[in-house]
Amino acid sequence: MVNPEIQGKRYPRTPGYLVGREKVREFAKAVMAGPESLDLDYAKAHGYQDLVVPPTFPVVIQEQSLQVVLADPEARIDFSRVVHGDQRFVYERPIVAGDELTSELEVASVKSLGGNHMVTFETKIFDATNQLICTAISTLVVRGD
């Protein structure tokens, strides 16, 4: 059972993640993206310094933060019972290759619903100058016994 007392808990800032151009291409191909995230000339013609990531790319950063929570014995989240409920990305500015990102995760809420737990995580993603550039919000449904 998920520990309801983790509501409001903040986890330490993750180490820097450098967004690599080839990683952007690899992710873009995996989500069947077009030249917007694959072609450097195209990106530059649209005023960007480098490739712009596909909209769901910050999941890679969120995944790192979530691993910390799942490994936290206080949280008591059994990963084998977890289903992804919903997901949202709110951008302050586009993420481009070359950005060095860090993130901070907070457990926004823990709710019980019909024997299941719904845990909502908010991961704030910052650039190298410590400006917030994206917030990733994810709800996991943890099935009860």
Nearer to another protein, 37 or 102 (CB): 37
Nearer to another protein, 10 or 143 (CB): 143
β-bridge pairing 100-113 and 17-18: antiparallel
Half-sphere exposure of 123 (CA within 13 A, CB side): 26
Q: What angle do CA 10, 76, 8 make, to 5 degrees?
A: 25
Nearer to another protein, 36 or 106 (CB): 36
Least Å from the CB of residue 5 to another protein: 27
CA separation, residue 12 to residues 1, 74, 108 (Å): 23, 15, 15
Least Å from the CB of residue 141 to another protein: 9
CB 22 within 8 A of CB 1: no
Residues that bind another protein (CB under 8 A): 23, 26-27, 29-34, 36-37, 46, 48, 52-56, 59-60, 63, 80, 83-91, 94, 96, 137
Nearer to another protein, 32 or 130 (CB): 32
